[in-house]
Amino acid sequence: MNDNTDLRKATIQEKVNILFHYILDKMKIDELTVSTKIQDTIKSSLQFFCLTLATKWNNSHRKKANFLKFNSLWLEKKIIFPKEFYSLCNSSSKESLVKSTGRPRKAFLEKLPKSQRKEAIELSNSEPTKKLLMGAAISAKQNAQPYLAEILDEAMVSPNRPMKIAKKIRDENRLPVPYTPEEALNLFLDLNLTKRIYTKIREEALKRNADIYPSYNCILKAKNNCRPIPLDCIKISETCATLPLQNLLDHTARRIVELQSNVFHHGLELNNKKTLNVVLHSSWGFDGSSGHSNYHQKYQTEACHMDDKNLFATTMIPLELISNNNVIYWRNRIPQSYRFCRPIKLEYVKESAEVILRQKREIEEEISRLEDVEIILDNTKSILVKFQMHLTLIDGKVLNTITGTPSMQTCAICGATPTRFNDSSLIENDAFMPNEKSLIYGISPLHSWIRCMELFLHISYRLPLKVWQVRGEKNKELMKKRKVEIHNRLRENMGLIVDVPIAGGSGTSNTGNTARRAFKDYDKFARCLDIDKELVKKFQILLISLTCQLPIDPILFGKYCLETAQLYVKLYSWFYMPASIHKLLMHGKDIIRCSILPLGFLGEEASEARNKFYKHDRLFHSRKMNRTFTMHDQFYRAMDSSDPKISSISIVERINARKHLKLPAEVLNLLECPQIPKLPSRKLEYEDPNSKDSEDEDFDLILPYDFDEIELQDSKEY
């Protein structure tokens, strides 16, 4: 043992033999008196010790100071030999062995805080947190510390209880509450901050001793959690960015389960199951937008004649996570918010029938290959998620293209032409037979508002003539004067600007907000247009029914549509109703019957609202070195801002800031009688779309309606 050079050069087995004989010599034991079994046991322990020592020595870069610094606790441990081995040595050797073990080990409370922390860290690495808390609570009770035991027990009631306790302590002590990385990312996206602005805000806060904002590197890590794994599954070129649907759905499901983890744990405990089967319902579709800026960037690989004025976006929205026994574990109560509209593919190409059909074919092929995903909650519990996709994020042009309808004036549901739309005999006999395959595409509530407003505008323009098609210079001049008169009335009385083209070729001023404002004050709108007030009121009720997120009775809705259609034909039979209005009045009940969720969930407003954010993100939140970088940043920004978990953080504040409107009594009369589950209730109200984007808390097992607070007219019971 004195020859350190020989010991370092020796093999592990030789070192074990040297240590073994050193111990025998120290304990004054004859090797012949030790049985072979005991020798093997001792040598095995010594071999493990030598291997561990060599590893720790190499990890310390073979420096004694580093070795002693990082392994002080390990060096204080003892090597335990068999009891029979100790019985072979005499009492004097036992005493000498005890004296030679080094410095006596101090009790935990006698150590310095730094040593106590090291020992606590070593203990935390070997035991789970809940076990340590339970042990600490039991120890506090045994040592007559009831208050400490009560606090520890309270902290273990639920995963969110420690946060509430800490918040209460901070509130009492008026301590600043720092942002978590996810909360900071949500703030970053809500306020449309850039890296420079966020860093400046954080620096100013630090100058005032308020360390509440995490570093930008923490936000980058939170952003990475908003993106599917692996990142290389996202394919990005100069004009296109695409993500496989399977990866997007897997990531979306995992984030929702992570958001609702407490709910899923509770559901598994109630059912006494280890695996829960659920279905994630999502809507998807595509839409083209124009008016994008042409950047002065050179194309490296694409054709030189391409431009970036038009964007064709394919998106999806998660709607509901429901179990096989119809228990709702998560429902998106703000499906028309752009914050939940997730990109599948962004491509700078002009919308055309060829592009629409190609994209539909590609997505449907991916849907046919979708696989279930298993999400592990802990070592013993898991969630098995299946996916169902509904193609409803489309407008009338896309619907005509995918159904093969040759003209925009022809109904895509039944194939009827305009000359048959106002036939009272067909309307009364319900003779417009729908194609069942065309009913699954929804009804496009946002565009229904716009088309209904344009219907009354076009009728008003032609009232002096009372003809569907205006021919002749004299008649056209008369309609032109009438049109100017109507525009002036609407602008003076209601502040509405209608039928004005927008610069850049991106449509007209007839937007969803314009239409909703017009129908909100239907009496004044009807007077400005010289249109029958009762008819305008009926269309208002139908449009609100389509956009509210409550289940509508298809039979009652169909009767109301029939009354509206009959009144329309009676008043304005000379003006053939457009195909979109015919679709609403004649096939609305069939579309409701075929929809798995209320039509307010399946609307296309979120995907339409996303278009302006694509323009904004490309301009202010993307690198301009080349087109690939610009496309990369634009796509990833859309992924981050649509993450379900991040988008749900400030839901309560956003929904409280939004104006709520009571549902009209006529709409309440059209609601379907629900099977009321034993779930928390919600106030029955619908959100004003003219106000800022709103969201609501998505945490408990909930439904977005409560029929206990409704007073229906005529004492009608459901």
pLDDT at position 267 is: 86
Residue 544's closest CA among 628, 359, 386, 668? 668
Q: Is 357 helix (H, G, I), strand (E, B) or coil?
A: helix
pLDDT at position 2 is: 44
Residue 69 — pLDDT band, cuts 50, 70, 90? confident
Tens digits of residue pLDDT in 283-295:
999 999 888 888 8
Together in a domain, 547 and 611 = no
pLDDT at position 640 is: 95
pLDDT at position 564 is: 95
pLDDT at position 43 is: 81
CA angle 178, 255, 607 (to 5 degrees): 100
**DSSP of 407-453:** -TTS-TTT---HHHHT-HHHHHTT-----GGGGGG---HHHHHHHHH
Residue 532 — pLDDT band, cuts 50, 70, 90? very high
Residue where one domain finishes, among candidates 88, 108, 128:
108
Q: Which residues pair with 311 in a beta bridge?
A: 289
- Would residue 618 count as lying in a domain? yes
What percent of the chain is predicted at pLDDT more than 70? Answer: 88
Together in a domain, 656 and 635 = no
Residues 241, 248: Cα–Cα separation, whole Å: 13
With a cut of 70, say whether residue 224 has pLDDT above it.
yes
Most confident among 23-32, 93-102, 598-607 (mean pLDDT): 598-607
Which residue segment(s) compose the domain that 291 sits in?
Answer: 239-394+605-640
Together in a domain, 424 and 546 = yes
Greater pLDDT, 651 or 487: 487
Residues 48, 318: Cα–Cα separation, whole Å: 54
DSSP state of 709: G
Together in a domain, 374 and 476 = no
Together in a domain, 682 and 615 = no
Greater pLDDT, 3 or 106: 106
- Would residue 196 count as lying in a domain? no
Kindly list the distances between the CA atom of residue 621 and the CA atoms of 159, 305, 529, 640, 644, in Å, as whole numbers in the listed order: 36, 26, 44, 12, 21
- Would residue 390 count as lying in a domain? yes
Mean pLDDT for the chain? 84
Residues 231, 539: Cα–Cα separation, whole Å: 47
pLDDT at position 348 is: 93
Tell me the two tokens of residue 149. Answer: 């035991």
With a cut of 90, say whether residue 481 has pLDDT above it.
yes
pLDDT at position 58 is: 83
What percent of the chain is predicted at pLDDT more than 90? Answer: 48
Residue where one domain finishes, among candidates 108, 129, 151:
108
Tell me the two tokens of residue 358. Answer: 């190609």
Tens digits of residue pLDDT in 345-396:
999 999 999 999 999 999 999 999 999 999 998 878 899 999 999 999 999 8
pLDDT at position 673 is: 74
pLDDT at position 614 is: 93
pLDDT at position 90 is: 54
Single-letter amino acid code for the residue at 131: K
Together in a domain, 556 and 625 = no
Residue 9 — pLDDT band, cuts 50, 70, 90? low
pTM of the model: 0.72
pLDDT at position 403 is: 92
pLDDT at position 95 is: 46
Tens digits of residue pLDDT in 438-460:
999 999 999 999 999 999 999 99
Together in a domain, 465 and 354 = no
Together in a domain, 29 and 52 = yes
**Is the N-terminal amide bond of 230 cis, ω within 30° of 0?**
yes
Residues 429, 562: Cα–Cα separation, whole Å: 10
- Would residue 91 count as lying in a domain? yes
Residues 697, 656: Cα–Cα separation, whole Å: 11
Report the DSSP pairing between strands 311-323 and 686-687. Answer: unpaired
Residues 331, 388: Cα–Cα separation, whole Å: 14
Kindly list the distances between the CA atom of residue 258 and the CA atoms of 23, 388, 621, 698, in Å, as whole numbers in the listed order: 56, 20, 28, 12
pLDDT at position 186 is: 94
Q: Mean pLDDT throughout 2-22?
A: 67
Which position has the token pair 């060599």? 54
Together in a domain, 367 and 441 = no
Q: Which of 178-182, 268-272, 493-497 comes out lowest in average pLDDT?
A: 268-272
With a cut of 80, say whether residue 716 has pLDDT above it.
no
H helix runs in 60-180, sequence order:
64-70, 72-75, 83-87, 91-99, 113-126, 129-142, 146-155, 161-173
- Would residue 199 count as lying in a domain? no
Residue 651 — pLDDT band, cuts 50, 70, 90? confident
pLDDT at position 685 is: 45
Residues 535, 126: Cα–Cα separation, whole Å: 73
Q: Mean pLDDT throughout 245-271?
A: 91
Together in a domain, 540 and 622 = no
- Would residue 498 count as lying in a domain? yes
Kindly list the distances between the CA atom of residue 111 and the CA atoms of 71, 118, 120, 525, in Å, as whole numbers in the listed order: 16, 10, 12, 82
pLDDT at position 344 is: 96
Whether the Cβ atoms of residue 348 and residue 633 lie closer than 8 Å to each other: no
Together in a domain, 632 and 655 = no
Together in a domain, 422 and 559 = yes
- Would residue 152 count as lying in a domain? no
Please count the structural domains in the chain: 4
H helix runs in 90-128, sequence order:
91-99, 113-126
- Would residue 514 count as lying in a domain? yes
pLDDT at position 660 is: 77
